[in-house]
Chain A
Amino acid sequence: MLKIRQLQKKRQEEEEEAAKSQSPTPTRDSTPVNKNSKVSAAQLRIQKDITELDLPPSIKLTFPQPSSLFEFDLKLIPNSGYYKNGKFQFKCEINSNFPIEPPKIKCLNKIYHPNIDLQGNICLNILREDWSPVLSLNSIFIGLNFLFLEPNPNDPLNKEAANCLVKDKKQFEKNVNNSMKGGYIDGVYYDRVI
């Protein structure tokens, strides 16, 4: 691999040049590299995404396991819209294949929302079919925030809620308010979040 050796030699020379011009550091060559001391590509990317988060005040992250950035909770308190002042809890799980695979986000409260089912599954395009590694954690949280400002009846996971939003906005608003206080809508009990 002559060409690679040439490239390598050239770089070594450059490094030596650079080292000479800097203050002398103790030379301890071929220091062994620890096994398993490397930060994984997924962790690198998560840290970068988390450092660059720029979230509205309605979103707060909490880290029950501070030793890991791969799992954390998210609290959303919308400051306007149907869900104003509700406190919604989410769990965010990221696996070692991030950002090839999107994070998994689940709503921990049972809530009355057209795009969230009773198990907490969320219909948000960038969480699944429209996810791409060029998107960031920030874009997902902003998307989630938007879902509470503008629930989308065209992608229903809770069909009753979606139908109501299409047919009778006043009734929908009432239902949301009642559900957030903890109560029954269409025979289903919803968690108190206010």
Chain B
Amino acid sequence: MRDHSSVIPLLKTIGPFNEVADDYNYQSAWDRLSTSKILVIGAGGLGCEILKNLALTGFKNIHVIDMDTIDLSNLNRQFLFRHKDIGKSKSEIAANFIKQRIGEDNINIIPFFGKIQDKSIEFYSQFDLVISGLDSIEARRWINATLVNLSSSNNKIIPLIDGGTEGFRGQSRVIIPSFTSCFECTLDLMSQKITYPVCTIANTPRLPEHCIEWAHLIQWNIEFGSTKKFDADIPQHIQWMYETALNRAKIFKIEGVTKQLTLGVCKNIIPAIASTNSIIAASCCNEAFKLLTDSNPYLNNYMSYSGDYSIYTYTFENNKRSNCSVCGSLPKKIYVESYKTLQQFIEDIKDKQEIQIKNPSISSISGPLYMSSPTELQKITKNNLSKKLNKLISNGDEIVITDVNLPISLRLIVYFTSDEKDPELN
């Protein structure tokens, strides 16, 4: 048995700090440590810290998902891994380590070695909370969109706590899908990949990075054409990149091209330091504790931490963007008679007062169904107008409607009713 009595005073204090003091109950707050199901996405630098913190706080149901395997360069900060684990799944090794440390009877921790996109909506809907410690913006956008969609299609609100670090900087944020601003709302806050003008790379290189980018962007295609795609995970490719960049650096008398830097530039490796990961992961986990137990008000909704120049933190409320493509308009269910053609469907939605569309363009996950502009796309897609909608998409598919008059894109989830025949034709 483990003793978590150290957190009891935090839960027993009932007062102005409880989010909803009237409904707050110590016992149910305490029970939630054992009953809450938490999903941790990423078992890397942040993930190791997050798993450790959650387990030591007393949470007992944790799933962890990561597609990566352990690399030598991870061991300096990803402390759940040892040298013998190199090449193995991060999530599996991390889960095993935590299980051994906490005791198999005291925690239920389930790893998944794979991509987050491989799991179904049903998988995600079982959790009370998701914490992500990822550096991939693409994956963070995906989980954000998935949870925002769940909030509208299943009316299941699963808070997302998102942590991110880059060198001495980091941020943690709490996203309550469809209530607060989401990850997509603030895409422009994400630090951009450092890029250099092509003409500088081509003509006036001054930095070792310029030489590497020259090899990467320009010389590779000249040497191998577009047939052989560069892959930063293939050692021979990196070796070629390094040697080509080094030769160029010699010509321009530039110092500093190393194999490590070549790998860093080609893979866009973000600098990472163990202590920033600890700070950000710790703040994410405290917010998880407060959210799940209702003991104290949680972060509203963005904390930015910067240690580049002295130290500075700033907390602010990020506003929802009304034209956000993910949370600006939540998908609505629509029932469509099975006999309706795409054209009839378009006429129907044009008639709807609340939508205000004149010239809609429509697409589904498999591509455009009808695009009213540009002309080229209109010509290609107009043949679809006479087809039945249920031949173009499946029951439950999402469609997206855009219109120049519409500031947002409108999303509908289409369900077909069994009316096979058009009553007007009878």
Report the minimum CB–CB distance from A37 to chain B (whole Å): 4
Indicate if the CB atoms of B326 and A41 lie closer than 8 Å. Answer: yes
Known pairs A44-B325, A68-B367; A63 contacts B380 (CB<8 A)? yes
A-B contact pairs, 13 of them (CB 8 A): A2-B19, A4-B157, A8-B155, A31-B415, A33-B149, A40-B145, A47-B363, A51-B404, A53-B374, A119-B218, A119-B221, A123-B202, A128-B198
Indicate if the CB atoms of B199 and A39 lie closer than 8 Å. Answer: no
Indicate if the CB atoms of A39 and B365 lie closer than 8 Å. Answer: yes
* Residues of B130-160 contacting chain A, CB below 8 A: 137-138, 141-142, 145-146, 149-150, 153-155, 157, 159
Report the minimum CB–CB distance from A25 to chain B (whole Å): 6
Task: Give the contacting residue for B398; candidates A8, A28, A39, A129; CB below 8 A.
Answer: A39
Residues of B within 8 A of A170 (CB): none
* Residues of A101-123 contacting chain B, CB below 8 A: 101, 115, 117, 119, 121-123
The residue of chain A having its C-beta at the shortest distance from the C-beta of B178 within the complex is A11
Instruction: Report how far A28 CA is from B416 CA in the complex, Å.
Output: 11
Task: Give the contacting residue for B377; candidates A42, A63, A101; CB below 8 A.
Answer: A63
Known pairs A4-B157, A34-B394, A41-B141; A69 contacts B368 (CB<8 A)? yes
Indicate if B179 sits at the interface (CB-CB under 8 A). yes
* Residues of B363-410 contacting chain A, CB below 8 A: 363-368, 371-374, 376-377, 380-381, 394-400, 402-404, 409
B: contact size bracket: 35 or more
Residues of B within 8 A of A122 (CB): 198
Instruction: Report how far A53 CA is from B203 CA in the complex, Å.
Output: 34
Indicate if the CB atoms of B363 and A43 lie closer than 8 Å. Answer: yes
Indicate if B162 sits at the interface (CB-CB under 8 A). no
Residues of B within 8 A of A42 (CB): 141
Indicate if B361 sits at the interface (CB-CB under 8 A). yes
Task: Give the contacting residue for B396; candidates A31, A39, A55; CB below 8 A.
Answer: A31
Residues of A within 8 A of B365 (CB): 36-40, 43
Indicate if A26 sits at the interface (CB-CB under 8 A). yes
Indicate if A194 sits at the interface (CB-CB under 8 A). no
The residue of chain A having its C-beta at the shortest distance from the C-beta of B408 within the complex is A48
Report the minimum CB–CB distance from A74 to chain B (whole Å): 10
Interchain pairs with CB closer than 8 A, number:
184
Indicate if the CB atoms of A156 and B203 lie closer than 8 Å. Answer: yes
Indicate if the CB atoms of A33 and B363 lie closer than 8 Å. Answer: no
The residue of chain B having its C-beta at the shortest distance from the C-beta of A8 within the complex is B157
The residue of chain B having its C-beta at the shortest distance from the C-beta of A119 within the complex is B221
The residue of chain B having its C-beta at the shortest distance from the C-beta of A66 within the complex is B380
A47-B400, A131-B192 known; 16 new pairs, CB 8 Å cut-off, are A1-B291, A1-B292, A1-B294, A2-B23, A3-B20, A4-B179, A28-B335, A34-B397, A39-B364, A39-B365, A39-B411, A41-B325, A44-B400, A68-B367, A96-B138, A156-B199
Indicate if B188 sits at the interface (CB-CB under 8 A). yes
Report the minimum CB–CB distance from A160 to chain B (whole Å): 12
Indicate if the CB atoms of B217 and A121 lie closer than 8 Å. Answer: yes
* Chain A interface helix/strand/loop/mixed: loop
The residue of chain A having its C-beta at the shortest distance from the C-beta of B298 within the complex is A3
Residues of B within 8 A of A39 (CB): 363-365, 398-400, 411
Indicate if B121 sits at the interface (CB-CB under 8 A). yes
Interface residues on chain A, number (Cβ under 8 Å):
64
Indicate if the CB atoms of B325 and A31 lie closer than 8 Å. Answer: no
Known pairs A37-B394, A100-B137; A7 contacts B199 (CB<8 A)? no
Instruction: Report how far A130 CA is from B392 CA in the complex, Å.
Output: 39
Task: Give the contacting residue for A134; candidates B146, B179, B188, B294; CB below 8 A.
Answer: B188
Indicate if the CB atoms of A55 and B187 lie closer than 8 Å. Answer: no
Indicate if A142 sits at the interface (CB-CB under 8 A). no
Report the minimum CB–CB distance from A39 to chain B (whole Å): 5
0 or 1 for each of A70-81: is its CB under 8 Å from B? (1 = yes): 000000000000
The residue of chain B having its C-beta at the shortest distance from the C-beta of A122 within the complex is B198
Known pairs A67-B366, A133-B187; A50 contacts B145 (CB<8 A)? no
Indicate if the CB atoms of B397 and A37 lie closer than 8 Å. Answer: yes
Indicate if the CB atoms of B188 and A61 lie closer than 8 Å. Answer: no
Indicate if the CB atoms of A4 and B199 lie closer than 8 Å. Answer: no
Known pairs A8-B155, A37-B397; A99 contacts B187 (CB<8 A)? yes
Indicate if the CB atoms of B397 and A51 lie closer than 8 Å. Answer: no
Indicate if the CB atoms of A38 and B415 lie closer than 8 Å. Answer: no
Indicate if the CB atoms of B176 and A7 lie closer than 8 Å. Answer: yes
Instruction: Report how far A52 CA is from B188 CA in the complex, Å.
Output: 20
Residues of B within 8 A of A96 (CB): 138
Indicate if the CB atoms of B396 and A32 lie closer than 8 Å. Answer: yes
Known pairs A33-B121, A51-B404; A61 contacts B374 (CB<8 A)? yes
- Of A1, A35, A115, most buried by chain B (CB within 10 Å of CB) is A1
Residues of A within 8 A of B155 (CB): 8, 12
